[in-house]
Amino acid sequence: DTEVTQTPKHLVMGMTNKKSLKCEQHMGHRAMYWYKQKAKKPPELMFVYSYEKLSINESVPSRFSPECPNSSLLNLHLHALQPEDSALYLCASSQVGGAGNSPLHFGNGTRLTVT
Amino acid sequence: ELKVEQNPLFLSMQEGKNYTIYCNYSTTSDRLYWYRQDPGKSLESLFVLLSNGAVKQEGRLMASLDTKARLSTLHITAAVHDLSATYFCAVTNTGNQFYFGTGTSLTVIP
């Protein structure tokens, strides 16, 4: 079983909807990530939080809004998405700066379809 | 920006055969990671390689790192069907950015 939990597993939303993706980890990791993955492509980094502060935003459109309420939780708020935003959204966590040589630990992902 | 390339992109091999996947990266990094992804699933960490000359083995998979050549290899020995998956390498910079390779889709044919 994965130690990073993502909900929901599947999400279908219209272009005018507002929804949120949730991620939780209890490994004591202080870096948390959102990745977007299209079919047969590598994961693309969206956001990185380090010690609950946004440290990297890879020029992601404002219709994606991340939030890190505490060291265990990470949310991704979605609003006015486009069909091309349909993808697998992966949450991951690690020790900060790769400390302890920590790899990324991924959740099972949320399969998002925008209609 | 750090670029990571893998080859081949697609690999079809018979059970029992050996093969190597290559991962090249563009700038200095002393940490390299290998991940496996099954269709429709998330990524699973396989290996963490920390220094030049590092070698790790798990079952039929062996990974190595040559930081001077900026090259890592993932060697598959006597392939079995269960190894069919997509394999990604990734490297990190001094921050928390993990740069993923293009991926190698492996299919093992009985």
What pLDDT score was predicted for residue A32? 94
Closest CA to B74 of B89, B59, B84, B86: B89
Which residues, at least 6 apart from B50, have a Cβ–Cβ distance to it below 8 Å? A101, B30, B31, B65
The reported pLDDT for the residue numbered A98 is 54
Tracing tokens 């080859």 back to the chain, one arrives at B7
Contact assignment for A90 to B43 by CB distance below 8 Å: yes
Mean pLDDT of B14-39: 92
Euclidean distance between the first and the last CA atom of chain B, given in angstroms as a whole number:
40
Instruction: Return averaged pLDDT per consecutive 10 residues of chain A, 115 residues in all.
Output: 88 95 95 94 94 90 96 96 97 77 91 96
pLDDT at B97: 81
First to last CA, chain A: 31
pLDDT reported for residue A77: 98
Indicate the average pLDDT of chain B.
92
Indicate which of A5, A74, A101, A108 best probes the interface with B, i.e. most B CBs within 10 Å of its own CB.
Answer: A101
Task: Note the pLDDT of residue A2.
Answer: 58
A60 Cβ under 8 Å from any chain B Cβ: no
Question: Does A42 contact B88 at a Cβ distance shorter than 8 Å?
Answer: yes
Instruction: Please write the tens of the pLDDT for every residue from B63-107.
Output: 999 999 999 999 999 999 999 999 999 998 766 788 899 999 999
